[in-house]
Amino acid sequence: MPPKATSVTTSLSCVTSDTQYTRAIHASDSERKVSAERLFMNLDTPIQYLKGVGPKLSKLLATKDIRTVRDALFFLPRDYQDRSKIRAIASLKRDEQALIRGTVVRHGYIPLRGRRGGILAAVLDDGTGRISMKWFHFNRAYFDSKFELKPSLLAFGNVQAYGAKLEMIHPDIEWDAEEEGLARAGGIFPIYSGSEGLTQQFLRKIIRQAVDLGAPALTEELPEYVRRTFKLVPLREAVMNLHAPRAEASVEALRAYQTPEQKRLIFDELFRFEWIVGRRRLSLRRELSKPYSSGGAEAPLAEIQKKLPFELTGGQTAAVRRIFEDLASDKPMNRLLQGDVGCGKTLVAFCAALPVIAAGGQAALLAPTEILVEQHRANAENFLSGLASLPIRVASLTGSTSKTAREGILRGLAAGDIHLLIGTHALLEDPVVFRELGFAIIDEQHRFGVDQRMRLRAKGRNPHVLSLTATPIPRTLAITAFGDLDVTTIRELPKGRPEIFTKIYRDSQRETALTRIAAELKKGRQAYVIYPLVEESEKIDLANAVSGAEELASGALTGFRVGLLHGRMKPAEKSAVMDAFKRGEIKAIVSTTVVEVGMDVPNATILLIEHSERFGLSQLHQLRGRIGRGTERSYCLLMTDWASDVAYERLKAMEETRDGFRLAELDLEIRGPGEFLGTRQSGELRFRFADLIRDRELLIQARDAAFDLLKTDPDLVKPEHRGLRDYMERAGHLQQKRFETA
């Protein structure tokens, strides 16, 4: 059993010497092993059993995903500070970080209205000058007992100016510097992602213990031949040196993720991910699905094309034919269909379902919102209903579907009478049973997690899967994030789409922008006004949709009916507002990003986005896709009070191009893949160390190495792959059936 932990109060009284921290981490392996054996600790020991943690603080650490000794080892610093030189107070300048050493000559408390106890202030003197140190959060009794002794200490922090005097706010301090042997500087210090109750000193203390106890037990997960091929440092060395960089380390290199130690962990992360993606693809290609010939789809496809008021683009036609080829194979299709806003992906998906339905199978379309489900249902009925060559019954299922209607849909599905079911997550529930689900469509696929996508596939016997995304994905990211998918891209837009003019407006130009909206409404057009929040936030000073709708209705858009739409409304309320907007009864709809997908109102010609700098480029492009769906020229107004040149340059890109692929590339560089793809939900691409833009070269190397391994030992049964196998079993990635090596 692990030893009983002693819980302590988190305060500066529990701070240990950070120089001792560095020395401890670089202790010999034999010293660590003796300590670890004595304490009966291992990598999976709960963090609460480390000295100074206990149950209460372990809950705080869990918010940082630190639950075990192993977790602490890989909770790497978010930044580093160079404390290699002690500065004279007289040499300090504002807006710089510095390490200083001196004696506390006095301290006291500054009253502050609304803050009990006021502000703690202490003056530090080093013989060359004096500087004030201030704390807003402190233990008064503790600091009084320390400061009364007029201690010598080290302080590190940002130098700020208060009038003509310099000060440090909440500096990191080390007590009794001379007695602790800290008269010399401390080198490069790690800075962790902390929070209230988790100070830097406390985190360093706990992680120092974890490294002391856990480093000897770290084993190599990467095959040794891979490590040698790419000249990667040992794992243990990488972890130790990242928590306590050597004196010769460069802060600039550490911050740029360019050190050999960081390269090792980045490679590990990319290698493991590519192995998982590659094995999933291998597993899928070993499965069998029912093939569906396109022969029975030709007549209904011709009927659909005659019903359309436009011709299919070359991209749409090519995509349909490519999917028909996939469906004719006994290997399960797993294809991603991507294309810019308005390129007609949904119509392609409906046409692609024809071979399955013609052969007696069923299709399902999973969409993220009820708004989108209803839009798809209306379009499906418009395109697919009334075909003489192939009667097709379409139904929709959401959380707001009535009990009576739900029961009828479930009976129709089980009997095979419903050919296409369109639904939200409600489609994934256990009572939903298909007679023969042969084709699964996932719209806005990045909104769904792996588990949800697998639950949909489980509704049939290895059904063919088509995923849709209106967020164009750069090729590098597509093959990395979706290595188990084939990718088809539609780049053309239907002929006749009007031009959309995009313009940035400062808040000071608001009246001009609103006048432009009113002018469009007077022409009989309709408008969208998008806000990032539903209600006011105390933390973020943004306008909100609720008050915005009220202000517009009583101000700039007086005389026009203004509607409100947001995600917290009940389904029936949202449907009523949407229907009124589609009928033209509501002239301007004020909404959150719930309209990002799903609203198709050709008469809407103008869109205003409040606080546009708060959105990613891909999301702005999605929102812009709500207009320009008719024949009239349309306008996108980006309202902002930008705080930086970077924000302005991003919005300028919206002004200059409608190319969703170009905007997607920029968005990827700015926001990173996790946010870009929405993969925080899916559990994929949550890279802790890697960056797909910065680390492209390592990505290619890791992918090649992982795929080479899959060719020779997909089940990791060889002795040299034992470490990697242990990791994959621990992470749950080796539960699929075994493969014969190629």
The upper half-sphere exposure of residue 470, i.e. CA atoms within 13 Å in the direction of its Cβ, equals: 24
Task: Note the pLDDT tens digit of each residue in 336-360.
Answer: 898 877 788 999 999 999 999 999 9
Task: Note the pLDDT tens digit of each residue in 123-155.
Answer: 999 999 999 999 988 888 888 888 888 888 888
**Residue with token string 């034992």:** 722
Least confident stretch, 28-32, 448-452, 475-479: 28-32
Instruction: Kindly give the residue spans of alpha helices, DSSP state H, lying in 66-108.
Output: 69-73
DSSP label at residue 503: E
Q: Mean pLDDT across the chain, nearest whole number? A: 83
CB atoms within 10 A of CB 638: 26
The two structure tokens encoding residue 60:
């705080």
Residues 6 or more apart whose CB falls under 8 angstroms from that of 602 comprise 629, 630, 631
Nearest by Cα to 574 from 369, 278, 343? 369
| b/e code 238-270 from CB counts within 10 Å (16+ = b) | bbbbbbbbeeebebeebeebebebbbbbbbbbb
Q: How confident is the model at residue 691 (pLDDT cuts 50, 70, 90)?
A: confident
The class level of CATH for 85-185 reads mainly beta
Task: Determine the pLDDT at residue 390.
Answer: 93
Is it the case that residue 5 has pLDDT exceeding 70?
no
- Cβ-in-10-Å burial (0-12, 13-18, 19+) of 578 comes to buried
Q: Do domains 85-185 and 500-658 have the same CATH topology?
A: no
Is it the case that residue 186 has pLDDT exceeding 90?
no
| 472 vs 455, more confident | 455
Nearest-angstrom CA–CA distance, 638 and 82: 42
Across 38-171, where does the E strand assignment appear?
Answer: 79-83, 86-87, 97-112, 115-125, 130-135, 152-162, 165-169
Nearest-angstrom CA–CA distance, 167 and 52: 32
Of the segments 21-35, 152-166, 595-609, which one has the largest average pLDDT value?
A: 152-166
Task: Note the pLDDT tens digit of each residue in 356-415.
Answer: 999 999 999 999 888 888 889 988 998 998 899 999 999 999 988 889 999 999 999 999
DSSP label at residue 4: P
589, 529 Cβ separation under 8 angstroms? yes
Residues 6 or more apart whose CB falls under 8 angstroms from that of 62 comprise 47
Task: Determine the pLDDT at residue 480.
Answer: 62
Instruction: Say if domain 500-658 classifies as CATH 3.40.1180.10.
Output: no
Task: Determine the pLDDT at residue 672.
Answer: 59
Alpha-carbon distances, residue 624 vs 261, 498, 499, 509, 637 (angstroms): 43, 13, 12, 20, 9
Task: Determine the pLDDT at residue 183.
Answer: 37
3-state helix/strand/coil string of 357-393 = HHCCCEEEEECCCHHHHHHHHHHHHHHHCCCCCCCCC
Q: How confident is the model at residue 521 (pLDDT cuts 50, 70, 90)?
A: very high
Nearest-angstrom CA–CA distance, 411 and 395: 12
The class level of CATH for 295-490 reads alpha beta
Is it the case that residue 645 has pLDDT exceeding 80?
no
553, 583 Cβ separation under 8 angstroms? no
Nearest-angstrom CA–CA distance, 716 and 723: 9
Alpha-carbon distances, residue 442 vs 366, 406, 428 (angstroms): 5, 21, 12
| 35 vs 70, more confident | 70
pTM of the model: 0.64
Q: What's the average model confidence in pLDDT over 503-530?
A: 93
CB atoms within 10 A of CB 466: 29
Percent of the chain exceeding pLDDT 70 equals 84
Task: Determine the pLDDT at residue 36.
Answer: 44
**Residue with token string 């999976």:** 44
Q: What are the backbone dihedrals phi and psi of residue 499, each rounded to the nearest 5 degrees, phi first?
A: -75, 145
The pairing of beta strand 362-366 with beta strand 172-175: unpaired
Nearest by Cα to 51 from 202, 179, 183, 153? 202
**Residue with token string 């992906």:** 345
Task: Determine the pLDDT at residue 706.
Answer: 94
The pairing of beta strand 362-366 with beta strand 420-423: parallel
The angle, 0 to 180 degrees and rounded to 10, between the axes of the packed helices 298-307 and 345-352 is 150
Q: What's the average model confidence in pLDDT over 669-674?
A: 61
Q: How confident is the model at residue 233 (pLDDT cuts 50, 70, 90)?
A: very high
Task: Determine the pLDDT at residue 181.
Answer: 38
Nearest-angstrom CA–CA distance, 554 and 562: 10
Q: How confident is the model at residue 20 (pLDDT cuts 50, 70, 90)?
A: very low
Q: How confident is the model at residue 13 (pLDDT cuts 50, 70, 90)?
A: very low
DSSP label at residue 162: E
Task: Determine the pLDDT at residue 393.
Answer: 95
Nearest-angstrom CA–CA distance, 207 and 185: 21
Task: Determine the pLDDT at residue 104.
Answer: 93
Least confident stretch, 70-74, 197-201, 271-275, 724-728: 197-201
Q: What's the average model confidence in pLDDT over 69-92?
A: 90
Task: Determine the pLDDT at residue 533.
Answer: 67
Q: Strand, coil or helix: what is 420?
A: strand
Tell me, what amino acid is at 666? L
Task: Determine the pLDDT at residue 29.
Answer: 52
| b/e code 696-710 from CB counts within 10 Å (16+ = b) | eebbebbbebbbebb
DSSP label at residue 89: G
Is it the case that residue 114 has pLDDT exceeding 70?
no
| 200 vs 410, more confident | 410
314, 361 Cβ separation under 8 angstroms? no
Is it the case that residue 665 has pLDDT exceeding 50?
yes
Q: What's the average model confidence in pLDDT over 468-487?
A: 68
Task: Note the pLDDT tens digit of each residue in 537-582.
Answer: 544 444 577 888 888 998 999 999 999 887 778 878 888 888 899 8
> Could you give the strand order of the β-sheet that contains 420-423, starting from the edge strand earlier in sequence?
394-397, 420-423, 362-366, 437-442, 464-469, 334-339, 486-490
Least confident stretch, 85-89, 174-178, 677-681: 677-681
Q: What's the average model confidence in pLDDT over 431-435?
A: 94
The two structure tokens encoding residue 386:
């009334």
Nearest-angstrom CA–CA distance, 221 and 180: 39
Q: What are the backbone dihedrals phi and psi of residue 609, each rounded to the nearest 5 degrees, phi first?
A: -115, 115
Alpha-carbon distances, residue 299 vs 238, 305, 314, 531, 603 (angstroms): 63, 10, 19, 46, 33
Tell me, what amino acid is at 399? G
CA dihedral angle for residue 106, residue 111, residue 115, residue 118, rounded to 10 degrees: 10
- Cβ-in-10-Å burial (0-12, 13-18, 19+) of 580 comes to middle
Task: Determine the pLDDT at residue 207.
Answer: 93
Give the helix/strand (H/E) hosting 240: helix 235-243
Task: Determine the pLDDT at residue 541.
Answer: 43
Task: Determine the pLDDT at residue 658.
Answer: 82
354, 297 Cβ separation under 8 angstroms? yes
Q: DSSP string of 606-656?
A: EEEETTGGGS-HHHHHHHHTTSS-SSS-EEEEEEE---SHHHHHHHHHHHH
The residue ranges of every structural domain in the chain are 1-82+196-217, 85-185, 219-237+246-286+695-742, 295-490, 500-658
Task: Determine the pLDDT at residue 286.
Answer: 79
Residues 6 or more apart whose CB falls under 8 angstroms from that of 557 comprise 514, 517, 518, 521, 587, 588
Task: Determine the pLDDT at residue 680.
Answer: 39
Task: Determine the pLDDT at residue 126.
Answer: 93
Q: How confident is the model at residue 605 (pLDDT cuts 50, 70, 90)?
A: very high
